[in-house]
Amino acid sequence: MQCVENRHESVIVVGLQGRMDSSTARIVEEKMISLIDRGESHLVVDCAQLDYISSAGLRVFLMAAKRLTQARGKLVLATMNDDVKQVFDMTGFSSIFKICGSKEEAINSYRQES
Amino acid sequence: MASPERSGTERFVEKERSVFVGLMLGLLVLVPDVVAVALANSVMLLSDLLKSGSETIATFLSYLAIRRVRQGKTFDYNYGQGKLENISSLAVAGAMLISWLIITFSAIERFRHPSPIGQIGLALFVTGVSAVINVLVWRKNRRLAQAEPSPIIESQWRLYRAKTAANICVLVSLIVSSVFREQSWSAYVDPAGAILVSGFLLLSAYRVITDSVYDLLDRTLDESLQLVILSELATWFHEYVALHGIRSRRSGSNVYIEIFMEFDGDQRMSEVQALIDRMKASLEEKIQNSQVVIAPATGPVT
């Protein structure tokens, strides 16, 4: 599992690559916590190269979303493949996250708000 | 209309009755089995007899465990005695492994020193009756296991499936050995069939051992149930401030789930408790035999 961070003005884009399961979700969790702890509140997770997500991965997104809400921030997800999107739809996670079709659309969603 | 608690008890009594019937039938078949082995000079029948004997002992242990578990929680066992089911399943698996060793050893010996089989009339009759009984018990336990997950019933239906497969191998091997008695190769059919039976046993034992050991080590719930928990957390997403951890485990037929959450500090304790009660009831309704604890927390719980 690879987790790459890029800044686009005030928005941090975290690109995920590989499988997010019980053995790799910790890597993403630590990355998200470190970003939130250093005060980043506009996060985009680019799922274009995320092949698979398990319940452990969903749990990380849920915890991060809650922490960001407390910090008056937001987590936007982008470019999910059909398998990952299906897991989000099945568990009702699609209704609690903003999911964009592209990374640019997700970044722009913050610009439109400000 | 029966209350859920009453139906749970009824289900448990049915499980106990099913294991008891299996035990009685096992004992019933053992006696003629001994005579058949003495008459047939078949390593396969000897192996089948040893296997049946060890399985009957294991079934007896399962019966004792299931009776004990039915007694439920006591002051000494606040979480019930569900793990006794797992331990009993391991005993069944242990019997399967011992049988596998005996069968393999006996078959190798017979390959080294081949000898023709003797009278098989009684053996055919006893094995045929055993096969019918085993199919019936296998199907009944399978139905029970599908209705409610239970390590004991799960191991029992696999045990009876293995026994049925073994019976079929014994029947085929006895008939082939007898029909082709004049052929020199027929002396090898008996030990070859015994090796085949041991393969079924080994597979069943592996499955029972892995499932029971993982549960004894408090492995978290299956992915399908984890997704149900997360789906619930998504449903109640706006009702809590933070999620600090989830723990889950299985003990026998029971499922234990602990969720650590932070709630709005401005809410009154009674409001938080009412919310917890609703979340708990909703999740327990979705996961059979689950006991959910939702604990307020302010920091990560691992």
Residue pairs between chains A and B whose CB atoms are closer than 8 Å = 44
CA distance A89 to A96: 10
Between B30 and B293, name the one with better pLDDT.
Answer: B293
A46 close to A103: Cβ distance less than 8 angstroms: yes
Tens digits of residue pLDDT in B122-152: 888 888 888 898 898 888 888 887 776 666 7
Between B149 and B192, name the one with better pLDDT.
Answer: B192
State the average pLDDT over residues B42-47. 77
Tell me the chain A residues in contact with residue B241 when contact means C-beta distances shorter than 8 Å: 66, 69-70
CA distance B54 to B69: 23
Given a cut of 80, whether residue B79 has pLDDT beyond it is: no
Distance from CA of A9 to the nearest CA of B (A): 28
Q: Token pair of B67, please?
A: 């009776």
Between B82 and B88, name the one with better pLDDT.
Answer: B88
HSE-up of residue B17 (Cα within 13 Å, Cβ side) = 8
Distance from CA of A53 to the nearest CA of B (A): 11
Distance from CA of A43 to the nearest CA of B (A): 18
Distance from CA of A67 to the nearest CA of B (A): 7
Alpha carbon distance, N-terminus to C-terminus of chain A:
33
Sheet holding B290-296, edge to edge: B242-251, B254-262, B290-296
pLDDT confidence of residue B4: 47
B40 close to B120: Cβ distance less than 8 angstroms: yes
For residue B48, count other CB atoms closer than 10 A to its CB: 28
Q: Are A93 and B223 within 8 A, CB to CB? A: no
Given a cut of 60, whether residue B2 has pLDDT beyond it is: no
Distance from CA of B27 to the nearest CA of A (A): 46
Interface test with A, best of B230, B235, B243, B264 (most A CBs within 10 A): B230
Task: State how far Cα B148 lies from the chain centre.
Answer: 12
pLDDT confidence of residue B149: 66
pLDDT confidence of residue B57: 76
Tell me the chain A residues in contact with residue B244 when contact means C-beta distances shorter than 8 Å: 63
Residue from the list B226, B234, B243 with its beta carbon closest to the beta carbon of A93: B234
Residue from the list B230, B240, B241 with its beta carbon closest to the beta carbon of A59: B230
Residue from the list B233, B234, B244 with its beta carbon closest to the beta carbon of A95: B234
ipTM value for the complex: 0.92
- Average confidence (pLDDT) per 10 residues, chain A, 114 residues: 91 95 92 93 95 94 93 93 93 94 92 69
Which residue of chain A comes nearest to B230, CA vs CA? A91
Q: How sure is the predictor about B77, in pLDDT bands with cuts at 50, 70 and 90?
A: low
Between B76 and B14, name the one with better pLDDT.
Answer: B14
Q: Are B234 and A63 within 8 A, CB to CB? A: no
pLDDT confidence of residue B1: 39
Between B110 and A103, name the one with better pLDDT.
Answer: A103
Tens digits of residue pLDDT in B240-290: 999 999 999 988 778 999 999 999 999 999 999 999 999 999 999 999 889
Tell me the chain B residues in contact with residue A59 when contact means C-beta distances shorter than 8 Å: 230, 243, 246
pTM here is 0.68
CA distance A28 to A33: 9
Tell me the chain A residues in contact with residue B227 when contact means C-beta distances shorter than 8 Å: 55, 58, 87, 90-91
Distance from CA of B281 to the nearest CA of A (A): 18
Q: What length does chain B have? A: 302
Tell me the chain B residues in contact with residue A90 when contact means C-beta distances shorter than 8 Å: 227, 231
- Identify the weakest region by mean pLDDT among A37-41, A89-93, B109-113, B203-207: B203-207
